[in-house]
């Protein structure tokens, strides 16, 4: 089976599983969209494989990615997270998760769902790449990142936003030789 030629993909079953079944599959579920946004904000500066391996620990530490709970985190909870060896212990990113939970719920209130908001940038369309040329940012990620920042989201620069949009299937960038190329389901 031909897959995207990502570094360390083939020798990590957890990564293969993610590539084959999750990456680029369009998500319309707010909890999943929030979970991926939090994981991507922690991804910033690290490899995705590191985040993937810690995903279950993140889920446990961050109340199953419930934004209502996360937005209420106090100093005690922040200290507890900072002493949790199984997640990424970065205070700015932990504080960003709290800001992002608040911003997420605000967007949800304004648009009815975060899904409505994030898919509005492409008029509900999936943007398929050509499978040959790859970027780390584009006009879409610049635009979404700018809007996210305006709404109070943190650690969602254009590179992270690009990665997020790929993860949730707004952009689909499997390589041409990959068996998932131009497949969204």
Summarize as ranges the residues that interact with Zn ion (CB under 5 A). Answer: 4, 174, 178, 180
Report the nearest approach of Zn ion to the CB of residue 29 (Å). Answer: 22
The one catalytic residue in 15, 23, 48, 164 is 48
Q: Examine the residue annotation and report whether 117 is marked as an active-site residue of this protein.
A: no
Neighbours of 129 (CB within 10 A): 19
Q: Examine the residue annotation and report whether 15 is marked as an active-site residue of this protein.
A: no
Report the nearest approach of Zn ion to the CB of residue 160 (Å). Answer: 20
**Residue among 29, 51, 165, 140 at smallest CA distance from 97:** 51
Q: Examine the residue annotation and report whether 119 is marked as an active-site residue of this protein.
A: no
The one catalytic residue in 6, 15, 17, 18 is 18
- Pairing state of beta strands 171-172 and 127-128? parallel
Q: Which residues contact 16 (CB under 8 A, 6 or more apart)?
A: 3, 9, 10
What CA–CA distance (Å, rounded) separates 182 from 24?
A: 9
Report the nearest approach of Zn ion to the CB of residue 13 (Å). Answer: 15
What CA–CA distance (Å, rounded) separates 42 from 91?
A: 11
What CA–CA distance (Å, rounded) separates 143 from 161?
A: 10
The one catalytic residue in 40, 119, 164, 166 is 40
- Measured from the CB atom, is 35 or 174 closer to Zn ion? 174
- Measured from the CB atom, is 91 or 183 closer to Zn ion? 183
- Measured from the CB atom, is 35 or 180 closer to Zn ion? 180
- Show which residues are catalytic: 18, 40, 48
């Amino acid at each position: 089976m031909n897959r995207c030629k990502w570094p360390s993909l083939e020798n990590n079953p957890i990564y293969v599983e993610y590539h084959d079944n999750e990456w680029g599959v369009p998500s319309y579920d707010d909890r999943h969209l929030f979970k991926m946004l939090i994981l991507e904000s922690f991804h910033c500066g690290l490899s995705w494989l590191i985040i993937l391996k810690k995903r279950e620990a993140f889920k446990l530490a961050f109340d199953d990615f419930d934004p209502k709970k996360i937005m209420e985190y106090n100093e005690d909870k922040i200290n507890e997270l900072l002493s949790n060896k199984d997640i990424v212990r970065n205070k700015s990113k932990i504080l960003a998760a709290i800001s992002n939970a608040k911003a997420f719920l605000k967007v949800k209130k304004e648009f009815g769902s975060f899904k409505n908001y994030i898919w509005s940038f492409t008029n509900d369309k999936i943007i398929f790449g050509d499978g040959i040329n790859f970027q780390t940012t584009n006009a879409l990620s610049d635009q979404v990142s700018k809007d996210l920042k305006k709404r109070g989201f943190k650690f969602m620069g254009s590179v992270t936003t690009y990665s997020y949009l790929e993860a949730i299937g707004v952009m689909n960038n499997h390589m041409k030789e990959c068996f998932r190329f131009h497949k969204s389901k």
